[in-house]
Amino acid sequence: MGIIRDPMKLAVVGATGMVGNIMLQILSERKFPYSNLILVASEKSVGKKITYNEKIHEVISLKSAIDLSPDLALFSAGGETSLKWAPKFAEKGCTVIDNSSAWRMDPSKKLIIPEINANILNSQDKIIANPNCSTIQLLMAIAPIHMRYEIERMVISTYQSITGTGVKAVKQLENELNGEKGEMAYPYPILKNAIPHCDVFQENGYTKEEMKLVNETHKILNNYNIGVTATAVRIPVVGGHSESVNITLKNNASVDEIKRLLNSTDGIIVKDNPANNSYPMPICSEGSDNVYVGRIRKDFSKTNSFNLWIVSDNLRKGAATNTVQIAEFLIQNKLA
């Protein structure tokens, strides 16, 4: 991949956070093309020194970053920051790819998983939304099935890593493992527990996380007729998110056909041999950019229905990697 402009100024906003750190790692792994890297964080982190690719970078403020006129900005600094600052970057001609929920359901902004719908992007898109981590791994697996057989309905149960909540949650689990008291990210202990409460509850009784799976699925697939219902659960796991998904298809399919289809899909690894205890687990997905699918089997209780188990590292493909892939698509197609 070659640099299409000189210089190519790349800003990473939220560089000191959990996803920001992974984003920097992925930029290095994928040899992302830039000539000037701008690391940005909140005021409390301004002045902090970060060694990256054998070079020392000083973290600067959002205001200072705008003054440097970056060409591309990867945001992972929370919804409020994105709502306030992404338009200011865009006004300066910078293309923003935002990892928060701030712009996902804005009808004027595109919600992108590159393998599925990057083709709808154009040079006028100055704020591009990155989907929720649970949505990304779900759609990576079910989009090819939908395109071939058309999904009528989905029932989703998630088993989500504490890293989806952030550093505070990781610290809570560490404290509980060590028998220490400290700040609580959740209203209950997470150790030896499962909390059916991801994000805040909505008036309809679902949590915001559950409704993200519904609304983002409809928007990305551009199909609002698929029935989607979800229950999102937080569990004491660090490596990645898991999802149990039941799908009902409009057209006939077999387990073997679905396996062959997923095996031929980029970014998907089918790990499905129960006889050898081979199935996806978060402990195996950690550090990988792939989405793993297993336990693919027919649902005998309903016609043309199937069960799948989907696992992925929520900080990588579920967040940082997808963001970087969007940026790569923009550069490769001369859209940024």
pLDDT mean over 135-144 = 98
Residue 281 has pLDDT above 70, yes or no: yes
The predicted-structure confidence for 237-248, as pLDDT tens digits, reads as follows 998 999 999 999
Predicted TM-score (pTM) of the model is 0.95
User: Which of 94, 133, 198, 284 is the catalytic position?
Assistant: 133
Task: Copy the structure tokens of residue 287.
Answer: 């550090």
Task: Check whether residue 141 and residue 274 sit in a common domain.
Answer: yes
User: Which of 94, 146, 198, 241 is the catalytic position?
Assistant: 241
The predicted-structure confidence for 201-219, as pLDDT tens digits, reads as follows 999 999 999 999 999 999 9
Task: Check whether residue 87 and residue 187 sit in a common domain.
Answer: no
CATH number at residue 183: 3.30.360.10
Task: Check whether residue 192 and residue 221 sit in a common domain.
Answer: yes
Task: Check whether residue 212 and residue 300 sit in a common domain.
Answer: yes
Asked if the structure places residue 4 within a domain, the reply is: no
Task: Check whether residue 159 and residue 38 sit in a common domain.
Answer: no
CATH number at residue 70: 3.40.50.720
The predicted-structure confidence for 94-136, as pLDDT tens digits, reads as follows 999 999 999 999 999 999 999 999 999 999 999 999 999 999 9
Determine whether 198 is an active site residue: no
Task: Check whether residue 308 and residue 323 sit in a common domain.
Answer: no
Determine whether 241 is an active site residue: yes
Task: Check whether residue 109 and residue 185 sit in a common domain.
Answer: no
Task: Check whether residue 46 and residue 86 sit in a common domain.
Answer: yes
221: containing domain: 134-314
Task: Check whether residue 82 and residue 221 sit in a common domain.
Answer: no
What string of H, E and C letters represents the secondary structure of 10-73? EEEECCCCHHHHHHHHHHHHCCCCCCEEEEECCHHHCCCEEEECCEEEECECHHHHHHCCCCEE
Asked if the structure places residue 1 within a domain, the reply is: no
Task: Check whether residue 100 and residue 182 sit in a common domain.
Answer: no
| Cα-trace Rg, the chain | 20
Total domains in the chain come to: 2
Task: Check whether residue 297 and residue 150 sit in a common domain.
Answer: yes
Residue 53: what residue type?
N
